[in-house]
Amino acid sequence: ELTAAKIVGETAGITRFASEAKYAMHTGVAPVPVWSGRTKGRVRMNKSGNRQLNAALHRIAVTQIRLHGLGRAYYNKRITTGDTTTEALRALKRRLARTVFNTLKNNPSTATPPNLAAAA
């Protein structure tokens, strides 16, 4: 419950993000390309973005892996296709960000932040 509240609070209105990719970049789980020369297709973890949101998604991902949740099958699939554990965790966090974005976007109670100007 606290993680969900942290995500909703730190997102501060999902309508300010035009796409789930922009939301993922804001949360810091979007992959960052690191290739140069002949090495193409490599990505690394994003060190920017909202660290609180990133930490919340990290807690969810680690819990799903540890407790054999829905993310465990995806994590194992990524490892069997050749990803390292770090790359598989990054991909799982990106997938969770997509799920969170779509859930918040399609839920009218969390889509827009409350009007705080009226309270002042």
Residues 69-110 pLDDT 10s = 889 999 999 999 999 999 999 999 999 999 999 999 988 665
The span from the CA of 31 to the CA of 44, in Å, is 6
Measured in degrees and rounded to the nearest 5, phi and psi for residue 106 equal -90, 0
Query: CB–CB of 45/32 below 8 Å?
Result: yes
Average model confidence (pLDDT) across the chain: 86
Q: Give domain status of residue 86, yes or no.
A: yes
Crossing angle (nearest 10°) for helices 85-106 and 2-11: 70
For the chain, the domain total comes to 1
Q: Give domain status of residue 64, yes or no.
A: yes
Q: Give domain status of residue 118, yes or no.
A: no
Residues of the domain holding 44: 2-111
For 38-51, what is each residue's pLDDT tens digit?
777 777 778 888 99
Which three-class secondary structure state does DSSP give residue 32?
Answer: strand
Q: Give domain status of residue 95, yes or no.
A: yes
Q: Give domain status of residue 65, yes or no.
A: yes
pTM of the model: 0.81
* Choice between 45 and 30, residue whose per-residue pLDDT is larger: 30
Q: Would you state the structure tokens that stand for residue 62, as one six-digit string?
A: 């680690």
